[in-house]
Amino acid sequence: MTDTRLAVTLRDVKKSFPLSDGRELDVLDIEDLALPAGSCTIITGRSGAGKTTLLNLVAGVAIPTAGTVVVAGTDLLALTEARRDRFRAQHVGYVFQTFNLVSALSALENVMLAMMFAGRVPRPAQRPRARELLARLGLGSRLAHKPAQLSRGEQQRVAIARALANDPPVVLADEPCASLDAATAREVMAAFLAACREDGKTSVIVSHDEAAIGAGDRAVDLVAINRAPDRRPVDGR
């Protein structure tokens, strides 16, 4: 029976990538990782430890070589690729380091686009929700601005609003403030954590920032829990 108090559960999860010589590179081997609903977990670990791979497994972007990944009560391996894509759009928000905003769209339109794709928020409610999220993140006066007209910190706030747009129970963030200056990073991270906590989200954040680590409910050193024998850096994984 699924424990509804747990938002994310990984059991005996292994992830390997093929090498050009035919061998396999073992990147992740995690016996047990369980994240309570509504918690904020900071994932730390050196470059190449598999942090981004871990987030991609939770998002259903990648599937494990072995083991089970359960998110919001759903076994991701039991879904087809198309159903995983749909599940991710509706139940998992993802904040990237590089923003990934559509340059031709305004801040408001970028947030609405996420809702249009997922179909979780009724169409009449999409624009008001986008406005409300951007206002909460301090961008109420920047709704019509396109990404090139926004600072890097403002662009990341738009990306955060987009990740929250479909009211997902789980929100992932991969070094969301790495490309920002220290002061802006603190402001953006504080706004992100406040929004997640206000809405009861389960957040999983990859970060090396000491302030972020201290603000989370707990920090998990991926190297410490990863049993993979070879964790050399491979393409930033």
pLDDT at 36 over 90: yes
> 180-212, pLDDT tens digit by residue?
998 999 999 999 999 999 999 999 999 987 778
User: CA triplet 20, 227, 201: central angle to 5 degrees?
Assistant: 100
- pLDDT classification of 82: cutoffs 50, 70, 90: very high
Q: What is the CATH number of domain 6-225?
A: 3.40.50.300
What value does the mean pLDDT of the chain take? 92
More confident residue, 213 or 129: 129
Looking at residue 230, its pLDDT comes to 56
Domain boundaries, the chain: 6-225
Look up tokens 């957040």; give the residue. Answer: 203
pLDDT at 53 over 70: yes
